[in-house]
């Protein structure tokens, strides 16, 4: 390819890329707002609202796997130290 052909191909690539860029951006992101909570004293929460997270099988697997990896790392560090 000559220099002129290379420049023409590059110009075509720029035109194609610019054609794919939308003229106007997407929909605006709505502002984040805090959840509506009750003002009663003491606060009344449902069990679902009071729960911090779900203790399910995947969470238990992650905890056990992390503990096992920590123990393996500890053993390897002890073996490497001596």
Domain count within the chain: 1
Domain-located, residue 75: yes
Residue 33 in any domain: the answer is no
Q: What's the whole-model pTM score? A: 0.36
Residue 41 forms part of a structural domain: no
What's the confidence (pLDDT) of residue 23? 64
What number is the average pLDDT over the span 24-33?
67
Which carries the bigger pLDDT value, residue 48 or residue 15?
Answer: 15
How does DSSP classify residue 23? S
Host domain of residue 57: 53-82
Report yes or no: 53 and 59 within 8 Å, Cβ to Cβ.
Answer: yes
Residue 66 lies in a domain: yes
Position 71 in a domain: yes
The DSSP call for residue 36 is P
Q: Which of 3-7, 56-60, 72-76 has the lowest mean pLDDT?
A: 56-60
- Residue 63, domain member (yes or no): yes
Residue 46 within a domain: no
């Amino acid at each position: 390819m000559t220099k002129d052909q290379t420049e023409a191909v590059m110009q075509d690539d720029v035109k194609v890329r610019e054609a794919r860029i939308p003229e106007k951006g997407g929909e605006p992101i709505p502002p984040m707002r805090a959840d509506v909570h009750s003002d009663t004293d003491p606060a009344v929460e449902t069990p679902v609202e009071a729960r911090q997270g779900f203790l399910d099988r995947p969470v238990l697997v992650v905890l056990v796997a992390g503990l096992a990896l920590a123990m393996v790392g500890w053993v390897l560090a002890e073996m490497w130290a001596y």
